[in-house]
A and B are shown apart, each in its own frame.
Chain A
Amino acid sequence: MSEIIPLFSTSSSFGQGGIFTVEEAGKSVKNGKKLRGPESICDLAKEEGLTKIYLVETKFANFMEAYKNLKKINCDLHFGLKLCVCEDMGTKTDESLKTESNVIVWPAIDSDKVYEKFIKISSKASIDGFYYRPRIDWKTLCAMWSDDLLLSLPFYSSFIQKNSLTFSTIVPELPAKPLILREKGQQLPFDGIINGAIEKYAKINGCEIQDVKSIYYKNRAHAKSWQIWRCILDRTEYDKPNMEHCSSSEFCWESYKELVGGATK
């Protein structure tokens, strides 16, 4: 596929997302001037004339606000729920952390019923599986799965990445054939290693690969704000953030626009 899909995420995806908000478009502007503070995805969508936003979140906190505020500017919301999946959600030990990887679940059709399923899966992970963060296991995910859901594998945190760049050997029982997401233009040194692994997996398992770009902040200049926010969450400091491989300022809209040559609608 030639299209590169921008995947936004907000500050509600603790430690795994961006610094965007989903505040109503125009609210952060006073007397024609942009107020200091985080950027709203709705402002960005309005500015750029976007007709759909792909939002990837680890929880539902922002879903309704995003849906309503994007609707006001005639922009469709495609909501993806990023889930941490482990081998056994009942095993809450440090060893079990090694079995963790992420998936992103999307609605295959636009219906309220699908979002109800999202909420059920998310609640299960938050209530029964919680260990440092919400988790579900492959068996439970398979049991709760239905055909109106779509499974995708994020580039930097799926089991394919874990098996390639860590000593984990995760052999999951997947609920459906996954769509594999391939990050473009993020400029991390091991992108080639993950890319090789996903291409191999896709070929063997007959999966499709979709090019995407995760977007955590608007411009490269905002990367510092994003990192400081991460430092606050991790209780580290800017001079010594202790964030392994956190070295690229390309997780931004500015970089995405350059990548697709300005064609963003």
Chain B
Amino acid sequence: MIGSELLRYSDKKIVLFDLETQRVNIMGDNLPFQCSWIVCDKYKVLSRNNYYLKWPGFTMSKGAAAITRFQQSWVDNGDDPEFVLKAFESYLMDPSFLIVGHNLLGFDVYVHQLWRETLGLKRDFSYLSRIIDTNLIARAYKMGWKPDKTDFLAWQYKVMSNPVKGVKTNLAQLNKDFQIGVNESNLHNAAADLELNFAVYRKLIGLVEV
């Protein structure tokens, strides 16, 4: 069938993930306090995972605390970051999964590396070629840019390097654009963001030939 390689027809399992963090710096001094991922097929969510991480001496930046409505008790009662990383990476590093998320290439993949480095592990970007960044696909959709499937990762970086003034692609905006109807007051909580992100992903793969 023509177009059978498109994601909309793919039977591959998908892992969507999101990290909530101390600040918005991707170079250092930034650890995730919440890691959520959901496993899906193309129609529905198969499993949900949500962890808060317990880091010693964890402090939040004012800006990030306000946006995420951070509560210290989440971290105080959180789980061992090493245990959570292992569980998370059992999906992330599994080549049979597609990896989906919002602004993964611009933010989350870097925080994931900071998390690894803090635990004494080396950087590992080997999973990048399986990433579908809904922030970038949404921008391409709004701008009418056709995906280059021969090197999809490089194409996503090209889209990232081309921000367009006035073209909003945050999840709240896409919730409105696609009339998904998720309650926006819960956004910036990783677990809630993923439910909306999955709906946005399903909408986008129907609209864009990826």
User: Hey, which bits of chain A sit against chain B, CB under 8 A?
Assistant: 164-167, 187, 189-190, 193, 223-224, 227, 238-249
- Among the listed A166, A223, A227, A241, which residue makes an inter-chain contact with B161, where contact means beta carbons less than 8 Å apart? A166
Could you jot down 11 A-B contacts, CB within 8 Å?
A: A165-B161, A166-B157, A166-B161, A167-B158, A224-B28, A239-B25, A239-B61, A239-B62, A239-B64, A244-B106, A249-B27
Asked whether, in the complex, the Cβ of B158 is within 8 Å of the Cβ of A246, the reply is no
Interface size on B, residues (CB 8 A): 27
User: Hey, which bits of chain B sit against chain A, CB under 8 A?
Assistant: 23-29, 61-64, 105-106, 109-110, 113, 123, 125, 128, 151, 153-154, 157-158, 160-162
Give CA–CA (A144, B160) in the complex, Å: 36
Among A224, A239, A242, chain B packs the most CB atoms within 10 A around the CB of A239
Interface of A is mostly: loop
- Among the listed B64, B109, B151, which residue makes an inter-chain contact with A189, where contact means beta carbons less than 8 Å apart? B109
Chain A nearest CB, measured from B143 CB (Å): 10
Chain A nearest CB, measured from B103 CB (Å): 11
Asked whether, in the complex, the Cβ of A227 is within 8 Å of the Cβ of B154, the reply is no
Asked whether, in the complex, the Cβ of A193 is within 8 Å of the Cβ of B158, the reply is no
Interface of B is mostly: helix
Asked whether, in the complex, the Cβ of A247 is within 8 Å of the Cβ of B26, the reply is yes
Give CA–CA (A225, B23) in the complex, Å: 17
Residues from chain B with a CB closer than 8 A to the CB of A165 are 154, 157-158, 161
Chain A nearest CB, measured from B81 CB (Å): 19
Chain B nearest CB, measured from A233 CB (Å): 15
Asked whether, in the complex, the Cβ of B158 is within 8 Å of the Cβ of A248, the reply is no
Shortest Cβ distance from A238 into B: residue: B25
Top 5 A-B residue pairs of the complex, sorted by shortest distance between their CB atoms:
A239-B23, A166-B161, A239-B61, A189-B125, A247-B110
Asked whether, in the complex, the Cβ of B161 is within 8 Å of the Cβ of A167, the reply is yes
Asked whether, in the complex, the Cβ of A190 is within 8 Å of the Cβ of B110, the reply is no
Give CA–CA (A166, B151) in the complex, Å: 13
Q: A167-B158, A187-B123, A193-B154 are in contact. Are A246 and B63 (CB under 8 A)?
A: no
Asked whether, in the complex, the Cβ of B27 is within 8 Å of the Cβ of A241, the reply is yes
Give CA–CA (A165, B161) in the complex, Å: 7
Among A166, A190, A247, chain B packs the most CB atoms within 10 A around the CB of A247
Taking A166-B157, A193-B157 as known contacts, 18 extra A-B pairs with beta carbons closer than 8 A to each other, sorted by chain A number, are: A189-B109, A189-B125, A193-B151, A224-B28, A238-B23, A239-B23, A239-B24, A239-B62, A239-B64, A240-B25, A240-B63, A241-B24, A242-B24, A244-B161, A247-B110, A247-B113, A248-B27, A249-B27
Asked whether, in the complex, the Cβ of B128 is within 8 Å of the Cβ of A189, the reply is yes
Residues from chain A with a CB closer than 8 A to the CB of B25 are 227, 238-241
- Among the listed A166, A193, A223, A242, which residue makes an inter-chain contact with B28, where contact means beta carbons less than 8 Å apart? A223
Residues from chain A with a CB closer than 8 A to the CB of B154 are 164-165, 190, 193
Chain B nearest CB, measured from A97 CB (Å): 12
Give CA–CA (A189, B123) in the complex, Å: 9
Shortest Cβ distance from B61 into A: residue: A239
Chain A nearest CB, measured from B158 CB (Å): 5
Residues from chain A with a CB closer than 8 A to the CB of B153 are 190, 193
Residues from chain B with a CB closer than 8 A to the CB of A187 are 123
Shortest Cβ distance from B153 into A: residue: A193
Residues from chain B with a CB closer than 8 A to the CB of A239 are 23-25, 61-64
Give CA–CA (A50, B123) in the complex, Å: 30
Asked whether, in the complex, the Cβ of B27 is within 8 Å of the Cβ of A246, the reply is yes
Asked whether, in the complex, the Cβ of A240 is within 8 Å of the Cβ of B24, the reply is yes
Q: A189-B109, A190-B157, A193-B153 are in contact. Are A249 and B28 (CB under 8 A)?
A: yes
Chain A nearest CB, measured from B17 CB (Å): 16
Give CA–CA (A139, B61) in the complex, Å: 49
Chain B nearest CB, measured from A120 CB (Å): 33
Asked whether, in the complex, the Cβ of B23 is within 8 Å of the Cβ of A240, the reply is yes
Residues from chain A with a CB closer than 8 A to the CB of B110 are 247
Give CA–CA (A244, B25) in the complex, Å: 10
Give CA–CA (A247, B162) in the complex, Å: 19
